[in-house]
A = this chain, B = another copy of it.
């Protein structure tokens, strides 16, 4: 979902940047989108990639795809050096509290905006609304400083606390409609995906009334 939500919210996601994602799972999914031509990935820790190749081959197979170019390095530095280049930037990081804390702060959104094309979309992990409601709202506010349209989506992941995980998405296009997939239903159905569908995409943005109010009113 962290891959196909932003990819299908974008009408033409040719060039994609993945920050983090060292297990290869996000890359494995992103390359499946028929309009994606180039995927650039920056992972800071080469040991994560090595160990994933050794112990999680079903995830790490993403690294073998010819659309993918992997760079071992700091995502911050990488984005500083790339201006207006990417249609979609996906951040597949650790939790918002701990080593990856800087990825959830305002300056990070500024950096992503720098590396993103004018009609680009970003997507980052956003925590659970049952556990991190105020933190998510703060992250969305940070995103809003730099992006014209911001949304929160959620999907079921049984291994996460409370059984789900959220995403904060930002677009530089003020008319962005995140909840409607831009790829047709039959085209999506023809892609080899186990979880994602047009229906699941739209449903991810339907939030409980109290969450909806907290985030958008």
Chain A residues near B (Cβ < 8 Å): 128, 130, 154, 156, 158, 160, 162-164, 193-197, 199-200, 202-210, 212
Contacts and interface: CB of A to CB of B under 8 A. Distances in A.
Nearest to A156: B164
B212 A207 contact: no
Contacts of A162: 156, 158, 163
Contacts of A196: 208-209
Contacts of A204: 203
A209 B195 CA distance: 5
Nearest to A198: B206
A202 B200 contact: no
Contacts of A197: 206, 208-209, 212
A206 B212 contact: no
A200 B212 CA distance: 10
B194 A200 contact: no
A160 to B, nearest CB: 8
Contacts of A208: 156, 194-197, 200
B207 A200 contact: yes
Nearest to A129: B156
A133 to B, nearest CB: 12
Contacts of A210: 194-195
Contacts of A193: 209
A160 B162 CA distance: 8
Contacts of A202: 203, 206
In this complex, the member of A130, A163, A206 whose beta carbon has the largest number of chain B beta carbons within 10 angstroms is A163
Given A195-B209, A197-B206, A199-B207, 16 more contacts: A128-B158, A156-B164, A156-B208, A162-B163, A163-B164, A193-B209, A194-B208, A194-B210, A195-B208, A196-B209, A197-B212, A199-B205, A199-B206, A200-B208, A202-B203, A203-B204
